A = this chain, B = another copy of it.
Amino acid sequence: MSFIELKREVYEANMELQHRNLVTYTFGNVSQIDRDRAVVAIKPSGVPYEALKAEDIVIVDLENKVVDGKFNPSSDTKTHTYLYRQWSDIGGITHTHSTYATAWAQAQLAIPCLGTTQADYVFGEIPCAPVMTDARINGDYEEETGAQIVDCFAGRDPNESPMVIVAGHAPFTWGKDAAKSVYHAVLLEEIAKMAYLTKTLNPAISPLKQGLVDKHYLRKNGKNAYYGQAS
């Protein structure tokens, strides 16, 4: 894939974030990796979506060095590249401060699986990475944010929950490419809203029984999935 094509895909994924009403002003950023070239295309820092053009997308290598582009990359670039380095089968990452997902992050609570809407996409709860230690905050903060996320998936396949919330901060989502990571960001916001309403309506509610989680997750995502059209 040429840089022009890669920038175009990342540009469109960033604009889709805005189209889906997940951003206020310059909040949020989307990236996509080209594994063959070992480069990542990402939104420039602090540029409003209204003014963003495909050619403004910045290309960096996996050590965060700018390879192409005239702008500074997103201040969250190191979080993206850390995740790409650690998780070899993800292709796109989205970071937002979407309202309901961020409320769960601020409440410092994982989102329990309360219904099949979540189970269709996530195998169980959506984890909440703990508030970072002072050592991590005062270290290479954005890179450490990536490490905080990876640590909280210890022993869990990141594809089983293509989304996480970071306590006191906000969500990150991922997928096979930039577009899919945005898709998961939209779903997360809707799931987070439903979960908020459920918990405030019935605080004593328990997570969904495992049999129903299995059924819904596996009919869409398992080896014998039967949802959608044969590909």
Contact = CB atoms under 8 A, between A and B. Distances in A.
Interface of A: 24-25, 27, 44-47, 71-72, 75, 97, 99-100, 102-109, 114-117, 131-132, 134, 137-138, 141, 168-170, 183, 186-187, 190, 193-202, 205, 208-209, 211-212, 215, 219, 226-230
A190 B102 CA distance: 11
A109 to B, nearest CB: 6
A211 B44 contact: no
B45 A229 contact: yes
B211 A134 contact: yes
Contacts of A103: 194, 197-198, 201
Oligomer copy total: 4
Nearest to A20: B24
Contacts of A99: 190, 193-194, 197
Contacts of A117: 27, 97, 102, 170
Given A25-B187, A72-B229, A199 B201 contact: yes
A168 B216 CA distance: 11
A45 B219 CA distance: 12
Nearest to A166: B116
A121 to B, nearest CB: 10
15 contacts: A24-B187, A44-B229, A45-B227, A46-B228, A71-B229, A99-B193, A99-B197, A103-B194, A106-B197, A107-B197, A107-B201, A109-B201, A134-B209, A141-B215, A196-B201
- Most B-side CB within 10 Å, residue of A99, A137, A194, A196: A194
Given A168-B116, A196-B197, A137 B215 contact: yes
Contacts of A102: 115, 117, 194
B46 A194 contact: no
A168 B100 contact: no
Given A138-B211, A211-B137, A106 B97 contact: no
A183 B229 CA distance: 28
Given A115-B169, A116-B170, 14 more contacts: A24-B187, A24-B190, A75-B226, A99-B193, A103-B197, A106-B198, A106-B205, A107-B198, A107-B205, A116-B168, A131-B212, A137-B211, A138-B215, A141-B219
